[in-house]
């Protein structure tokens, strides 16, 4: 029953939101109430999975290999909890920062359908069902991305839609081939049945098809171009939830599939993933360093940090996977927060362009602190969460004697710091230029007075501050989070528990 | 029959990819449609082709006589068709809006967000 | 999306509603007359498909598509506004109602102590009614709603 809540609650919220289409106040209330309910139930789920081990439910009461199984091991439960945290923070932030036109066009129901898709993808134990959840999530994200219909949004949306549909088709093809090969799509059953075929040609082809499909979704090295082309176009709240959750679903799928199903002796895939991880880290951060738009810098940083997240998968040791999971926990919270801060900056000065911004340290010192915490955390400055995340990965890399990847990871974190300091220097430190030309165009971008007053509402600050506190807490309580990450990694490395939970039915 | 379908699937993938690589947005959408049809047909073919043997237990027996059509791939395809129907319909609305806004269907003119 | 409610009448809506004026740019008398004959037939057929889906090929999805196609035809002949009035409910309302129905059918399982979406049946005379049918009705409504939402949005431009 607990497993249902992360799917049923957002769906119910979305349906109620559709009924209350005309009453914007009701929609706003529902948006936050639904997110809060999701937050509470998902932490309950995490707690019970932590205490009692993996749990499963068999949808429609079908016996295991036939029907769809929903299963939560520790990794799934952690991811669902993170999705709920981000959903709640963004719902709160949206109250203050999403314009009434979008709210009137079903922003909150869409947000909740997106959350449902994300949670469903984390919880499902069936490959085709994973495809369906991907599509649910993508449909909602397409509309959220294009909602508003500005030129940049539409251009971004076309790229996003095309590449993600490509990925879905590749995924579907792989699912079809897999079904033809082993005759089942239940992940645990596939894992068992594919073992004798582990090094056959068809298995390798399917593995690489899936790597490409999930690679597009996760935005890893040669497949990431859709991300920086689209993530900076929608309103900040939408960017933030995309940045926090969507690519991570791809990373989750990679982690799940390549620790459960495709485990071969030769370790070709981890080697490839390791190389991709290095290239992803490097290209992402180099892109970030040359950009001069707030959200585009952040978008390239997402790409770069996806590299860290798959590094642990590339190392394929328990310590490495634990590092990856810790990194995901840290990154989701930090990058969402940075996007939220970019929105707060935009609300104050009306631009995302670094050249046009400035002087915020003098006028809004609180905002400066809000930026500095996640920014330093992202670059890995102790004692914030990013430091421990990187430390774990570096340590795992040293243990696995992968010196070059460790060197790259450390170098990239310096470059990340550079890109963050660029934002700091331009937006907060330098005095604001006030030549009449820029003044004019800034004025035209600033929303009218009444809306600005609404935008200054404290809700946005609160949700950003809440995430900043979480970052600091993950840093200070690193031992506690690490225990979770290590246990989750342990479950990934030894999938027998996952498999037996899924296939052996107890009492529902 | 399998051979024929394999050829059809191959050509669907090939034409789909070719269309994706064109500069026109409309052709892009057509390409995506062809690709998804190709993968649906792939699933259909890979579930083994059996003619006229529905997987329905006959009256008075307890199981289906042996060569019968696998119902699962068909369920998968149905789901995938529904999904791609929805996604393509949305994509059509999207390119329509984009065309109204930008006034071109040339993908080379749609790269202002790339810089 | 402007929506006007028709006056409530107890008679059959289709027969007694005043014939909307054909929009001159799409006016085709043949289509207009044919649609008026086809519409009730197609709607009936869609419900037949929905119910037949219980034990034989058919079901909520294609039933919904047929119904949506019928209304879309009507929109082609008489314009999107007229189709909107014919529907009475907005497409969005249909989607909401459909999702709620499907969700309700899915929750019957958990409420009676079985997993999500478990089929539950009851007998009314010779008739077997169950949650799968309710679910299908939900699908039917969602499909009509979504399809018409898209069609009417495009048609209004």
- The model's pLDDT over A163-180, given as tens digits with 9 standing for 90+, comes to 999 999 999 999 999 999
Residue A456: C-alpha distances to residues A87, A100, A186, A371 (Å): 21, 15, 49, 17
Would you say residue A443 lies in a domain? yes
Q: What mean pLDDT comes out for the span B17-28?
A: 91
Chain A interface includes B69 (CB < 8 A): no
Q: What mean pLDDT comes out for the span A461-489?
A: 90
d(C-alpha A377, C-alpha A373), whole Å: 6
Min Cα distance B39 → chain A (Å) is 5
Radius of gyration for the alpha carbons in chain C, expressed in angstroms and rounded: 18
pLDDT class of A443 with cuts at 50, 70, 90? very low
Q: Cβ(A107)–Cβ(A141) under 8 Å? A: no
| Percentage, residues of chain A above pLDDT 90 | 54
d(C-alpha A116, C-alpha A122), whole Å: 10
Cα dihedral C105, C111, C117, C122 sign = negative
pLDDT class of B95 with cuts at 50, 70, 90? confident
Residues of chain C whose pLDDT is less than 50? Answer: 1-16, 24
Q: What mean pLDDT comes out for the span A445-463?
A: 61
Token pair, residue C95, equals 């989607």
Q: What mean pLDDT comes out for the span A423-444?
A: 66
Reported as a single tens digit per residue, the pLDDT across A18-53 is 988 888 889 899 999 999 999 999 999 999 999 998
* Least CB–CB distance from C154: residue in B78, B86, B93: B93
Token pair, residue C70, equals 């019928």
Residue B107 has a pLDDT of 81
| Percentage, residues of chain A above pLDDT 70 | 94
Residue B64 has a pLDDT of 79
- Chain B residue with Cα closest to A145: B94
Would you say residue A67 lies in a domain? yes
Contact B76 A175 (CB under 8 A): yes
pLDDT class of A507 with cuts at 50, 70, 90? very low
Count of CA atoms in the C-beta half-sphere (13 A) of A409: 33
Chain C interface includes B82 (CB < 8 A): yes
d(C-alpha A172, C-alpha A125), whole Å: 16
Q: Cβ(C106)–Cβ(C117) under 8 Å? A: yes
Beta strand pairing call for A55-58 and A69-72: antiparallel
Q: C116: which chain A residues are within 8 Å (Cβ-Cβ)?
A: 4, 8, 57, 59-60, 70
Q: What mean pLDDT comes out for the span A425-441?
A: 67
Please report which helix (H) or strand (E) contains residue C135, including its range: helix C131-155
Reported as a single tens digit per residue, the pLDDT across A303-333 is 999 999 999 999 999 999 999 999 999 999 9
Please determine, for residue A449, whether its predicted confidence score (pLDDT) is greater than 50: no
A367 contact partners, CB below 8 Å, separation of at least 6: A341, A344, A345, A348, A360, A428, A461
Would you say residue A508 lies in a domain? no
Contact B86 C154 (CB under 8 A): no
Pick the closest to residue A489 from A259, A225, A237, A280 (CA basis): A259
Token pair, residue A196, equals 């004798």
Beta strand pairing call for A55-58 and C121-124: unpaired
Contact A57 C95 (CB under 8 A): no
Identify residues of C whose CB sits under 8 angstroms from chain A CBs.
Answer: 92-93, 95-96, 99-100, 103, 107, 109-110, 114-119
Q: What mean pLDDT comes out for the span A491-501?
A: 89
Q: Which of C138, C154, C155 to mutate to probe the B interface, most B CBs <10 Å?
A: C154
Pick the closest to residue A243 from A82, A133, A78 (CA basis): A82
pLDDT class of A299 with cuts at 50, 70, 90? very high
Domain ranges of chain C: 20-155
Pick the closest to residue A309 from A334, A287, A289, A292 (CA basis): A334
Q: Could you tell me the end-to-end alpha-carbon distance of chain B, in angstroms, rounded to an integer?
A: 49
3-state secondary structure A29-83: HHHHHHHHHHHHHHHHHHHHHHHHCCEEEEHHHCCCCCCCEEEECHHHHHHHHHH
Q: In this structure, how many other beta carbons lie within 10 angstroms of the beta carbon of residue C111?
A: 9
Would you say residue A35 lies in a domain? yes
Check if CATH label 1.10.287.3510 holds for domain B2-52+69-107.
yes
Contact A8 C100 (CB under 8 A): no
Q: B90: which chain C residues are within 8 Å (Cβ-Cβ)?
A: 150
Helices (H), A350-384: 360-363, 365-379
- Cα angle vertex B99, ends B97, B102, to 5°? 105
Q: B43: which chain A residues are within 8 Å (Cβ-Cβ)?
A: 172, 175-176, 179
Tally of structural domains, chain A = 1
Full residue range of the structural domain in which residue A218 is found: 2-503
Chain B interface includes C45 (CB < 8 A): no
Residue C18 has a pLDDT of 54
A179 contact partners, CB below 8 Å, separation of at least 6: A185, B43, B46, B47, B72, B73, B76
Q: Cβ(A32)–Cβ(A94) under 8 Å? A: no
Residue C25 has a pLDDT of 55
Contact A61 C115 (CB under 8 A): yes
Q: A70: which chain C residues are within 8 Å (Cβ-Cβ)?
A: 116
Q: Cβ(A225)–Cβ(A216) under 8 Å? A: no
Cis check: omega of the bond before A383, within 30 degrees of 0: yes
Pick the closest to residue C103 from A132, A119, A60, A11 (CA basis): A11
Q: C61: which chain B residues are within 8 Å (Cβ-Cβ)?
A: 78, 82
* Least CB–CB distance from A172: residue in B80, B91, B102: B80
Chain C interface includes A15 (CB < 8 A): yes
Residue B2 has a pLDDT of 85
Contact A60 C109 (CB under 8 A): yes
d(C-alpha A90, C-alpha A242), whole Å: 10
> Which has more confidence, A474 or B63?
A474
Chain C interface includes B56 (CB < 8 A): no
Please determine, for residue B16, whether its predicted confidence score (pLDDT) is greater than 90: yes
- Chain B residue with Cα closest to C153: B93
Q: Cβ(A316)–Cβ(A308) under 8 Å? A: no
* Least CB–CB distance from A58: residue in C92, C95, C115: C115
Pick the closest to residue A249 from A92, A116, A112, A145 (CA basis): A116
Residue C117: C-alpha distances to residues B6, C94, C107 (Å): 37, 21, 6
Q: A14: which chain C residues are within 8 Å (Cβ-Cβ)?
A: 99
Radius of gyration for the alpha carbons in chain B, expressed in angstroms and rounded: 20
- Cα angle vertex A114, ends A107, A70, to 5°? 150
Q: Which chains sit next to A, with 3 or more Cβ pairs under 8 A?
A: B, C
d(C-alpha C85, C-alpha A503), whole Å: 52
B-facing residues of C in 49-88 (CB < 8 A) are: 61
Q: C63: which chain B residues are within 8 Å (Cβ-Cβ)?
A: none
Identify residues of A whose CB sits under 8 angstroms from chain B CBs.
Answer: 128, 131-132, 135, 138-139, 142-143, 146, 149-152, 154-159, 161-162, 165-166, 168-169, 172-173, 175-177, 179-180, 185, 225, 228-230, 232-233
Would you say residue A282 lies in a domain? yes
* Least CB–CB distance from A149: residue in B73, B101, B110: B101
Contact A175 B111 (CB under 8 A): no
d(C-alpha A63, C-alpha A477), whole Å: 41
Tell me, rounded to whole angstroms, the distance of Cα B77 from its chain centroid: 9
- Chain B residue with Cα closest to A142: B90
Reported as a single tens digit per residue, the pLDDT across A365-403 is 888 899 999 999 999 888 889 999 999 999 999 999 889
Min Cα distance B96 → chain C (Å) is 9
Contact C150 B93 (CB under 8 A): yes
d(C-alpha A287, C-alpha A391), whole Å: 24
Chain C interface includes B83 (CB < 8 A): no
């Amino acid at each position: 029953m607990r497993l249902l809540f992360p799917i049923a609650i957002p769906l119910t919220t979305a349906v109620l939101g559709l009924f209350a289409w005309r009453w914007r106040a009701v929609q706003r209330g529902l948006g936050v109430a639904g997110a809060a309910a999701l937050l509470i139930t998902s932490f309950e789920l995490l707690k019970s999975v932590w205490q009692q081990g993996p749990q499963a439910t068999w949808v429609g009461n079908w016996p295991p290999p036939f029907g769809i199984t929903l299963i939560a091991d520790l990794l799934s439960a952690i991811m669902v909890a993170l999705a709920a945290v981000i959903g709640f923070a963004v719902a709160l932030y949206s109250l203050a920062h999403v314009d009434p036109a979008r709210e009137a066009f079903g922003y909150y129901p869409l947000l909740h359908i997106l959350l449902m898709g994300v949670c469903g993808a984390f919880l499902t134990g069936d490959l085709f069902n994973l495809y369906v959840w991907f599509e649910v999530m993508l449909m909602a994200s397409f509309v959220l991305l294009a909602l508003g219909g500005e030129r940049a949004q539409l251009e971004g949306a076309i790229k996003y839609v095309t590449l993600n549909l490509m990925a879905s088709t590749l995924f579907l093809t792989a699912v079809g081939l897999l079904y033809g090969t082993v005759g089942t799509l239940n992940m645990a059953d596939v894992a068992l049945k594919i073992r004798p075929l582990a090094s056959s040609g068809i298995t390798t082809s399917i593995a690489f098809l899936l790597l490409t499909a999930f690679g597009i979704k996760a935005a890893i090295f040669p497949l990431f171009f859709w991300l920086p082309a689209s993530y900076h176009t929608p309103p900040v709240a939408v960017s933030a939830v995309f940045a926090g959750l969507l690519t991570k679903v791809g990373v989750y799928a990679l982690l799940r599939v390549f620790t459960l199903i495709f485990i071969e002796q030769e370790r070709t895939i981890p080697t490839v993933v390791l190389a991709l991880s290095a290239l992803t880290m490097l290209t992402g951060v180099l892109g970030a360093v040359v950009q001069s738009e707030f959200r585009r810098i952040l978008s390239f940083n997402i790409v770069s940090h996806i590299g860290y997240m798959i590094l642990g998968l590339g190392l394929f040791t328990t310590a490495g996977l634990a590092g990856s999971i810790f990194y995901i926990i840290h990154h989701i919270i930090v990058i969402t927060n940075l996007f939220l801060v970019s929105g707060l900056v935009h609300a104050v000065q009306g631009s995302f362009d670094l050249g046009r911004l400035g002087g915020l340290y003098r006028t809004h010192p609180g905002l400066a602190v809000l930026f500095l915490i996640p920014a330093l955390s992202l670059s890995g400055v102790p004692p914030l969460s990013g430091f421990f995340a990187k430390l774990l990965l570096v340590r795992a890399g040293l243990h696995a004697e992968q010196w070059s990847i460790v060197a790259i990871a450390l170098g990239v974190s310096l470059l990340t710091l550079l890109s963050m300091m660029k934002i700091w220097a331009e937006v907060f430190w330098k005095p604001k230029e006030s030549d009449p030309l820029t003044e004019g165009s800034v004025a035209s971008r600033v929303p009218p007075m009444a809306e600005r007053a609404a935008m200054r509402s404290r809700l946005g600050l609160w949700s950003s501050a809440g995430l900043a506190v979480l970052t600091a807490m993950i840093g200070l309580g690193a031992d506690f989070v690490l225990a979770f990450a290590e246990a989750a990694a342990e479950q990934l490395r030894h999938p027998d528990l996952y498999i037996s939970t899924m296939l052996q039915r107890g009492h529902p | 029959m399998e051979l024929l379908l394999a050829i059809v699937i191959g050509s669907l993938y090939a034409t789909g990819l070719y269309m994706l690589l064109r500069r026109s947005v409309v052709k892009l959408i057509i390409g995506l449609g062809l690709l998804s049809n190709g993968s649906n047909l792939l699933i259909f073919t890979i579930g083994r082709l059996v003619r006229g043997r529905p997987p329905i237990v006959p009256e008075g027996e307890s199981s289906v006589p042996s060569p019968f059509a696998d119902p699962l791939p068909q369920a998968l395809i149905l789901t995938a068709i529904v999904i791609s129907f929805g996604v393509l319909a949305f994509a059509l609305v999207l390119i329509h809006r984009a065309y109204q806004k930008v006034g071109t269907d040339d993908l080379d003119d749609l790269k202002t967000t790339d810089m | 999306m402007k929506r006007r409610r028709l006056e409530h009448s107890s008679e059959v809506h289709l027969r007694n509603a005043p014939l909307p004026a054909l929009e001159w740019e799409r006016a085709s008398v043949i289509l207009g007359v044919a649609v008026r004959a086809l519409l009730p037939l197609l709607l009936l057929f869609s419900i037949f498909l929905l119910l037949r889906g219980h034990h034989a090929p058919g079901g909520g999805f294609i039933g919904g598509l047929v119904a949506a196609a019928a209304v879309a035809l009507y929109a082609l002949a008489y314009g999107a506004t007229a189709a909107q009035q014919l529907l009475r409910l907005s497409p969005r309302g249909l989607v909401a109602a459909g999702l709620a129905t499907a969700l309700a059918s899915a929750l019957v399982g958990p409420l009676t102590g079985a997993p999500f979406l478990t089929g539950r049946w009851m007998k009314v005379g010779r008739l077997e009614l169950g949650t799968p049918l309710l679910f299908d009705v939900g699908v039917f409504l969602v499909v009509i709603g979504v399809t018409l939402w898209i069609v009417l949005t495009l048609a209004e431009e």
